[in-house]
Amino acid sequence: MNLFERTIASLSPSLALERARNRLALEATARYDAATRTRRGASIRVSRDDADAASHRRDIISFAARDMIRNAPFAQRGLRVIRSNVVGDGIIPSLANVETEGVLRAWGRWVEHFDSTAIDARGLQNLYGLQGLVMNAVCSDGECLVIRRRGTRAMPLQLEVLEADYLNDWRDGRLPNGSIIHQGIERTPSGAIVAYHLYKEHPGTLRPWRQSSSFISERIPASDVAHVFRVDRPGQTRGVSWFAPVTMNLQDLADYQDAQLVRNKIAACFAMFRRRDEMDGEPRGEPFPNKVQPGAIYELPPGESVEVATPPRVDGYNEFTSVVLRAIAAGLGITYEALAGDLSGVNFSSARMGRMEMDRNISSWQWTLLIPQLCDRIARWALEAWAVSDMPSPPSRARIQWTPPARVIVDPNREFEALKDQVRSGFTSRSQVIRSLGYDPETVEAEIARDMAVNDEMGAVFDTDPRQDKGRQAAAFVPDQPPPPAVDD
């Protein structure tokens, strides 16, 4: 402690203690490079904003992502890879905890509605197409809204998918009852979401007769809205485009490809320069042609020569593109091979390892994002609508469970043997394996039982029937015969 510090300590011990604490804290943080403001960390932008404040221009990010998806091939490819793996042909619902025949028949009628476009309020897609549409919006815009619409008694449930642009961002403030509206989302003082304030028309519509109502919002209860977005930080209420970390990479790659395309065009040009020696008057002889014909031989006039230009070389294109695409794939959470379609440098082991890492992301997006925020909400709406329809009501214990699409099997011969060993060892069940392959276990078991019954009735025998193996094993074992005598060595 120097003289200055001792003087402060004698006059104000509390102030000296506070200075000592701050000095120790400063020394501790200075040991982390990320906490320093040196030249190396000058580009780091430090902010104490919460999740929503840090992304308050999410609309600009989503507009940029939409432009990338419209015009950049690899952005469109990344979106398709995520959708096709998370949703694929659809996350299939099945009814559980129900054995009543009448209820099961009623559920079959409900599934027919899910398979048809009657579930769509706009009448364009079935349930699985709507799932893919929601996943597209979540990936590009960061969030999506699904509204429950009540239809007819025969079909009392319809779904309408809306972009996040429908949220009235201008509704922001405190209400007389103590609730808070933030960016169109109404919450109670405790933080529970009670309503969404949505525009009646898309605010970006170009139809003049709709522009008058495009800025009029209506209050929709939260029980009729499914707000789907990836939660990255605690306290987050709005989603951010998944393309936010890679938008600049995609733009740089597009600019680089355009520049290389122009450079290759220039390199492909065969340019010639005509030189004339100084002479009096016009050159004698035939004029030199302005265009060169393939295979032609030209005779130059006296005093003239031709110099051929050397086109520029184009090097490092593949290496640079590969590095940028790997960064884009890492930012989106998919593999480079899936994004670029380049399988030249992989074998079975490397492809399987990369696919396993991507499968973890896909499973996380299915079970922590799409199924709990969208599918389970639709299941609750379906059961409520079923109860007021003209079909037999489901029991209170009935619930709807969801089966994601099957994951891609790189080597079926190896992986199916591993699945069989897991079932035989008791590490998993047949139902779990069937569900991991993208099928509903109850449907598969019912189809197997029906096929076996038809085969028995027709007397048909197939080697795919495991009962035939048991029959052959039983016929091969004859217990009345004595065992063969032992042979002495």
pLDDT of residue 475: 47
Higher pLDDT, 16 or 29: 16
Residue 473 binned pLDDT confidence (cut-offs 50, 70, 90): very low
Residue 472 confidence (pLDDT) above 60 = no
Tens-digit pLDDT profile for residues 428-469? 888 888 877 777 787 787 788 888 888 888 877 777 676 665
pLDDT of residue 278: 58
- Mean pLDDT for 373-386 is 92
Q: What percent of the chain stands above pLDDT 70?
A: 80
In degrees, rounded to 5, the angle at the alpha carbon of residue 62 between the alpha carbons of residues 61 and 66 is 120
| Residues 6+ positions from 103 with CB-CB distance below 8 Å | 95, 392, 394, 395, 398
How much is the pTM? Answer: 0.77
Residue 43 binned pLDDT confidence (cut-offs 50, 70, 90): confident
Higher pLDDT, 32 or 319: 319
Residue 78 confidence (pLDDT) above 70 = yes
Tens-digit pLDDT profile for residues 275-332? 666 555 555 555 666 666 666 666 667 767 777 767 667 677 888 899 999 999 999 9
pLDDT of residue 477: 45
Residue 255 confidence (pLDDT) above 80 = yes
pLDDT of residue 476: 45
Residue 487 confidence (pLDDT) above 60 = no
